[in-house]
Structure 1
Amino acid sequence: MIASSVSLTSLALVWKSWDKHGTVRGLHICGTLPSSICVSVSKQQIQKRVEEPQPRDWSGLIQVCSGNIQKISHNTGQIKSLLHQLGSDHETSAPQDKLQQLQHYTNQLAKETNQHLKDLGALAPPMSPSEQRQQKLQKERLMSDFSAALNNFQVVQRRAADRQKETVARAKAGSRTAGDGDLNDHLVTFEKEDEWGQAVTQSQEPGITVEDLEEIRERETNIRQLESDIMDVNQIFKDLAVMIHDQGEMIDSIEANVENAEVHVNKGTAQLQKASYYQRKSRKRMCVLAMVLSLVMVVLIIIIYQALK
């Protein structure tokens, strides 16, 4: 098995390791540890970590998405730095391996964030219109930040793919120059096991070694993985466009409900004003009637008093 180890930065890395036939043999995680320390974990441990309960409430999902977006932006900057190291006169396999690992890990973060955004859309909205507006603004800001981070990440993804292809092309050109011309047909791709076996057999010719073939095969495997990750990001962009469209419809629904509520409030206010007007008018009538009755009573009392005299 061909295992990989790198000098660590202050972020976690997760990557796969392959054997010479391109079969995934294990996963590795590097965390915030001292330099050049790598921790390998079993598939059972990885599965246990994947099966850990994910946040399902609004605040928990928002917090995880925000953290992932920050990691994506940070990792994109790290990938840019690694790209500057590729193609130099002192190039080694370490930057290539670290770039591949970091790129794939960042791609997994993007997929996880995309799923969490979908989970946000599946949550029942709050009853209060003010809370609905607040959540709408939070999600809008989150999707905007995620889209910007994805754009930057995809740019460095494509640049990394181009650099990987250039590296493979240089390796193939060197092998063709140093080895027999008959090897040209075996240095394009190694999709099948028999092609790999034939290439290894012919590598006994002077000028090319098994290590050269293994390096070329590994680079081509990395390129295929990188292209697959780029397709994943394209799909995430499509999902994000759908979510933005759905968010717009939800916003229209919220605004319509708010407008309806405002109409009802205005109608209620008008009715209250009318009721207040009628109440004041009724009070005036009662006052006038009371004054008339009082006057009649006074007149009657005077008449009765005069009659008794």
Structure 2
Amino acid sequence: MSFDQLSSLESQPTTMRREDDPQYADDPEFQQLSQALMTKLFTLTGNISRLQNEIALLGTRRDTERVRERVHDLLEDSKDAFKEIGEGVKKIQSWEDVSPSQKYTQQKLAREFQSNLTEFQSVQRQALEKQRSTNSSAKLALEEAQSPNSESSPSYQIQAQETLRLASQDEVDFQDSLIVEREAEIRNIEQGVTELNELFRDVAHIVSEQGEMLDTVANNVESTRTDTRGADVELRSAARYQKNARSKACCLLLILAVILTIIITAAVAG
């Protein structure tokens, strides 16, 4: 399922329900969206593994522009995917009238999303550190090539100047442009880290609110149970009181009947 299809699912109203249909235990829209999100999270897990392998090559002899392109593409694609999935997770978390199984799905999605996002953010920071390190080394090498150390020996200065003369200006310009590109990539990664930090906080806040709501519901349920038990005790007490009252009334009527019988018998006999 593409991200466009995922977006179309998210845009559908959450008030649609099939509770009147006994064939549906859960909302099919909820199930479809949650399954799509889990599939995308699984795909991102693979992206993270590939990223870790590519980032390990940065700063080594196998570091090439092609490697950096793959790192850039994977970082961008994964960042965009996390942002889109994050919106879906927030939608799932705010779903109303959920069943116990849907509540479990909400919690599972939140855990998986936060876990994968945390791992991806760690990979982002690794890429950022590698980019900064290699760029700093490239800057230093370029500066040393362009400005030989005045304190070094005359022979070293002559050698450095000869090396600098042999190095074409085109190569120097090319290295300088690479440094500029890497600095732009560093800023881009930093921005991605900031964006995903905000997304992580948003989802964590929603999950926290859901937990507070669950606690409130549980407290209300327990309070209702307590009130119900109290009402039941009162009803039982009232029933016993009424039963005792009826018993006393019956006894009084029986005594009155006996007395009345004695009086009538005495009157007839007299």
TM-score by length of 1: 0.58
1:242 corresponds to which letter in structure 2? H
Question: Relative contact order, CA 8 A, sep 6+: which one is greater?
Answer: 2
Cα distance, 1:136 vs. partner?
Answer: 4.6
Report 1:261-276 matches (<5 A).
Answer: 261-274=224-237, 276=239
Q: 1:56 to 1:96 in 2, by over 3 A?
A: farther
1:49 and 1:168 map into 2 onto residues whose CA distance is 40
Cα distance, 1:108 vs. partner?
Answer: 1.6
1:217 to 158, 164, 180: 180
Cα distance, 1:91 vs. partner?
Answer: 2.5
Partner of 1:147: 114
Partner of 2:218: 255
Structure 2 unpaired stretches of 5+: 15-29, 149-166, 263-268
Q: How far does the alpha carbon of each residue in 1:32-57 deviate from its partner, in whole angstroms, 9 at most, with x for none?
A: xxxxxxxxxxxxxx9x7786442654
1:115 to 87, 96, 107: 87
Percent of residue pairs identical: 24
Aligned pairs, how many? Answer: 235
Partner of 2:157: none
Report 1:35-74 matches (<5 A).
Answer: 52-54=8-10, 57=14, 58-74=30-46
Structure 1 unpaired stretches of 5+: 1-11, 13-30, 32-45, 183-203, 300-306
Deviates more, 1:223-232 or 1:169-178: 169-178
Q: How far does the alpha carbon of each residue in 1:180-234 deviate from its partner, in whole angstroms, 9 at most, with x for none?
A: 449xxxxxxxxxxxxxxxxxxxxx9536255444433332222221111011122
RMSD: 4.1
Tell whether the 8 Å contact from 2:90 to 2:206 is kept in structure 1 after alignment: yes
1:80 and 1:289 map into 2 onto residues whose CA distance is 93
2:221 and 2:101 map into 1 onto residues whose CA distance is 14
Cα distance, 1:157 vs. partner?
Answer: 0.7
Tell whether the 8 Å contact from 1:175 to 1:207 is kept in structure 2 after alignment: no
Q: 1:227 to 1:143 in 2, by over 3 A?
A: same
Q: 1:265 to 1:133 in 2, by over 3 A?
A: farther
1:133 and 1:262 map into 2 onto residues whose CA distance is 20
TM-score by length of 2: 0.66
| Structure number with bigger Rg | 2
1:100 corresponds to which letter in structure 2? H
Partner of 2:49: 77
In structure 1, the residue corresponding to 2:62 is in which secondary structure?
Answer: coil
Q: 1:146 to 1:218 in 2, by over 3 A?
A: same
Cα distance, 1:295 vs. partner?
Answer: 9.1
More helix, by proportion: 2
Tell whether the 8 Å contact from 2:6 to 2:33 is kept in structure 1 after alignment: no
1:267 and 1:89 map into 2 onto residues whose CA distance is 77
Tell whether the 8 Å contact from 1:136 to 1:251 is kept in structure 2 after alignment: no
Partner of 2:209: 246
1:93 and 1:61 map into 2 onto residues whose CA distance is 38
1:235 corresponds to which letter in structure 2? E
Tell whether the 8 Å contact from 1:82 to 1:95 is kept in structure 2 after alignment: yes
